[in-house]
């Protein structure tokens, strides 16, 4: 059974259809990268997957939790608040702009939700948070506040915060786009380490070489559609679809910067 599955997802904002009949699934331990030009619907797909946007059509499930079903016309029907709460407990989301609470210390940013939402014991959660901070290379920063950290450090705290909830799957929405190039490498290393530990992840990214090396599978989106998907190395090196070929060729043209944005 897939950890995460979405089928026939459509989403419009007024007259603009942003997602058109999107279907995808992610299995345990799999790393899936989503690439594509700006405006292709990548971030909207993640926002629908994490209930930050409401689906118009289609279904969504986490394991055996059917969070969104549909009627005979395909219109999305959301489950009860109790089931949605259970579904939210299955995933973590790392934003591009960190979204840390500025008035909370690093430790409180990480421990607040496991204690207040999951009702876990504070002592146990604090110990686990310190282990996560060591893993992120942030030992000794427990009492710092976000404004005292670099962008890369803030993003590592936000990853630790997501992991503290013990999710089945982690979603990353352009995790390096708000960072200077010299800080990007440290975040990509953290994600690479998580992949080596078989953490299930979906990563929306513009870092194509990184996606090729870390992802098991790449999905290429354009104009609200999944245009092509397949083995990461094969899709980047030998794309079949002309739209995919044009996108990747443009990224590697000499007129483009080394890190496409």
Q: What is the pLDDT of residues 127-176, one digit of tens each?
A: 999 999 999 999 999 999 999 999 999 999 999 999 999 999 999 999 88
CA 78 to chain centre: 21
User: Is 142 part of any domain?
Assistant: yes
Q: Which residue has the higher pLDDT, 253 or 190?
A: 190
Q: What share of the chain in percent tops pLDDT 90?
A: 82
Question: Between the CA of residue 226 and those of 21, 25, 84, 211, 234, what are the distances in Å?
Answer: 9, 13, 26, 17, 16
Look at the chain and report how many structural domains it folds into. 1
User: Is 105 part of any domain?
Assistant: yes
User: Is 231 part of any domain?
Assistant: no
Domain of 148, in residue numbers: 98-166
User: Is 197 part of any domain?
Assistant: no
Q: Does the pLDDT at position 179 exceed 50?
A: yes
User: Is 72 part of any domain?
Assistant: no
User: Is 203 part of any domain?
Assistant: no
- Cα of first residue to Cα of last residue in the chain, in angstroms, is 35
User: Is 134 part of any domain?
Assistant: yes
Q: Does the pLDDT at position 12 exceed 80?
A: yes
Size of the chain in residues: 261
User: Is 259 part of any domain?
Assistant: no
**What distance in Å separates the CA atoms of residue 261 and residue 50, rounded to the nearest whole number?**
24
């Amino acid at each position: 059974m897939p950890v995460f599955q979405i089928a026939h997802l459509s989403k419009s904002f007024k007259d603009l259809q942003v997602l058109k009949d999107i279907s995808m699934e992610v299995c345990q331990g799999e790393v899936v990268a989503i690439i594509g030009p700006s405006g292709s619907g990548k971030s909207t797909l993640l926002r629908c997957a994490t209930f930050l946007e409401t689906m118009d059509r289609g279904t969504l499930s986490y394991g055996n939790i059917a969070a969104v079903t549909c009627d005979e016309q395909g219109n999305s029907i959301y489950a009860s608040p109790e089931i949605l709460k259970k579904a939210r407990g299955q995933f973590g989301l790392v934003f591009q702009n960190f979204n840390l609470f500025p008035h909370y210390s690093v430790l409180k940013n990480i421990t607040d939700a496991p204690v207040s939402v999951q009702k876990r014991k504070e002592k146990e959660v604090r110990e686990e948070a310190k282990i996560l901070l060591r893993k992120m290379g942030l030992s000794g920063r427990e009492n710092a506040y976000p404004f005292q950290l670099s962008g890369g450090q803030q993003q590592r705290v936000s990853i630790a915060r997501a992991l503290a909830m013990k999710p089945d799957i982690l979603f990353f929405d352009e995790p390096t786009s708000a960072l200077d190039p010299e800080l990007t490498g440290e975040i990509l290393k953290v994600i690479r380490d998580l992949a080596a530990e078989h953490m299930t992840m979906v990563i929306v990214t513009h870092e194509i070489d990184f996606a090729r090396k870390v992802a098991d599978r790449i999905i290429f989106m354009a104009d609200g559609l999944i245009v092509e998907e397949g083995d990461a190395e094969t899709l980047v090196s030998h794309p079949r679809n002309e739209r995919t070929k044009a996108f990747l060729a443009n990224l590697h043209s000499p007129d483009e910067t080394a890190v496409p944005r």
